[in-house]
Structure 1
Amino acid sequence: MLKPLLDGAVMMAYLACALFFLRFYLQSKDRLFALFSLAFALMGLNNVLGAVVGPDLDTERIHYLYVVRLVAYLLILGAIWDKNRAGRGSR
């Protein structure tokens, strides 16, 4: 009974972070903020999929939901790598 409420709160927090980074991207046009925004939106989507589809999946296929989270984390790592790589030429 409390789990759907907490899932909704966590999803709202992820989407608020996505909007936060989207606002900074629109102001600065820095690709790091755009990729962070996309990653947090994907984590919010993962939370929704886990709440809606997760209970209906059997335990052998539940791990497929974590692919969305893996893509989001890889986006964050790629954004940080891209930002650091772009700064090397200006030294």
Structure 2
Amino acid sequence: MKSLQDAIYNWLTIKIVSDARPEDTAAQETTQLFDQILAEEHDVESKELKRDALMYYVTVVQEGNPKEYRFPRDLIEVMLDQIRQEPDKYVTYPEED
């Protein structure tokens, strides 16, 4: 993933889904993948997430320097909204043994 902002956007979008659907193993695994991308490709040491009525705020520490990114909630929550509106299209399958 070339840009840190794109990686954070993708991580945040799937994190919101995985937080809302803890039983969704695909969402959990995808969140872990983006955690790994942030750490390995962008040297993100830590991240902090906050939100208000309109925005999500993600602060990351990269090479010791904090950087803040803002994303509109409606942009980030579009996937979760779609899942909630059409849950039959987003069935959670149990993990295979």
Same topology, TM > 0.5: no
**As a proportion of its length, which structure holds more strand?**
2
**As a proportion of its length, which structure holds more helix?**
1
TM-score with structure 1 setting the length:
0.40
TM-score with structure 2 setting the length:
0.38
Q: Which structure has the larger Rg over C-alpha atoms? A: 1
